[in-house]
């Protein structure tokens, strides 16, 4: 990291469970950070904890910033912080880089890439994986799309909260890679849920079963980090079902566009819909196990 990067002027838009600690890591890395959050009280709390400054609009936060990061909810939320009179793109100086950590459609990414390009601003789609713990520990996996030059400039900034940060291709490639991530997770969590459910029905000690099978070919991050809370009926960790259904909806829509077949993903999406009907929209994604227990 160069001295210039170490003292970069940054803005961070969106202080949810992921954005709040990510913005904090920027401060810890020596950057000057201004934050914006739709609920101002959250921004005030962040400033009290980390220092820096808060702004009342995305545009105000972005004014004069070399790098503007966003981590909001969905396509519409991203458009709202980027576009319009109060949007960040209107306040960014020529040559600045907008880095979007939200999981959104590749279509909105390309739309905003074009809008940014029209104001001589670079736009990098950089969705993240690693959950709340990854954000808090600065150990996120970041998959990026956009121009090589913009990525090269932003990479050292993103290293503040990542364990791997890689450009996959042109604009939208980061979001399409995140879809691969969510597709893989959906199948893994369902498989783990079925294995634990089967063990339970067979009268086996689920913990003993996982201790053995996790050391073989069945082992996975999901198994290592979620089996205990699943067996303890604790589903308040990590990524919520409501957000996963949003992401799987993007996966399935994208699959239609590119003629990809996602039968397991489509099925698991319906299983998550069942969890929502059970009142589990805010449960984490491992609650597929709870659905099986309720059958």
How does DSSP classify residue 240? Answer: B
178 is catalytic: yes
Q: Out of 178, 201, 246, 290, which one is annotated catalytic?
A: 178
State residue 281 phi and psi, 5-degree precision.
Answer: -60, -30
Cα–Cα distance, 172 to 44 (Å, whole number): 33
Label residues 6-32 b or e (16+ Cβ within 10 Å = b): eebbbbbbbbbebbbbbbbbbbebebb
Label residues 244-264 b or e (16+ Cβ within 10 Å = b): bbbbbebbbebbeeeeeebee
Cα–Cα distance, 165 to 182 (Å, whole number): 17
Question: What is the Cα Rg of the chain in Å?
Answer: 20
Beta bridge partner(s), residue 182 = none
Active site residues: 178
């Amino acid at each position: 990291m160069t001295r210039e990067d170490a003292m970069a002027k940054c803005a961070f838009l969106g202080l949810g469970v992921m954005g709040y600690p990510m913005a904090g890591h920027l401060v810890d890395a020596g950057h000057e950070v201004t934050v914006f959050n739709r609920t101002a009280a959250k921004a005030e709390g962040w400033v009290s904890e980390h220092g820096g400054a808060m702004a009342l609009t995305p545009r105000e936060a972005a004014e004069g910033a070399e790098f503007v990061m966003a981590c909001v909810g969905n396509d519409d939320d991203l458009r709202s912080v980027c576009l319009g009179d109060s949007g960040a793109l209107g306040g960014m100086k020529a040559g600045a880089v907008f880095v979007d950590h939200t999981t959104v459609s590749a279509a909105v990414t390309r739309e905003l890439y074009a809008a940014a390009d029209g104001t001589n601003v670079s736009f990098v789609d950089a969705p993240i994986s690693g959950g709340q713990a990854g954000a808090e520990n600065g150990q996120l996996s970041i998959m990026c799309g956009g121009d090589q030059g913009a990525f090269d400039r932003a990479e050292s900034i993103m290293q503040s909260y990542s364990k791997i940060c890689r450009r996959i291709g042109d604009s939208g490639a980061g979001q399409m890679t995140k879809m691969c991530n969510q597709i893989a997770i959906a199948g893994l969590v369902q498989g783990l849920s079925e294995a634990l459910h089967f063990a339970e029905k067979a009268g086996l000690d689920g913990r003993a079963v996982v201790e053995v099978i996790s050391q073989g070919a069945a082992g996975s991050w999901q198994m290592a980090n979620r089996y205990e809370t699943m067996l303890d009926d604790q589903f308040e960790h990590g990524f919520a079902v409501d957000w996963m259904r949003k992401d799987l909806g993007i996966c399935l829509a994208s699959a239609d566009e590119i003629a990809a077949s996602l039968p397991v993903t489509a099925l698991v999406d319906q299983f998550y819909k069942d969890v929502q009907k059970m009142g589990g929209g805010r449960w984490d994604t491992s609650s597929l196990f709870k659905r099986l227990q309720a059958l």
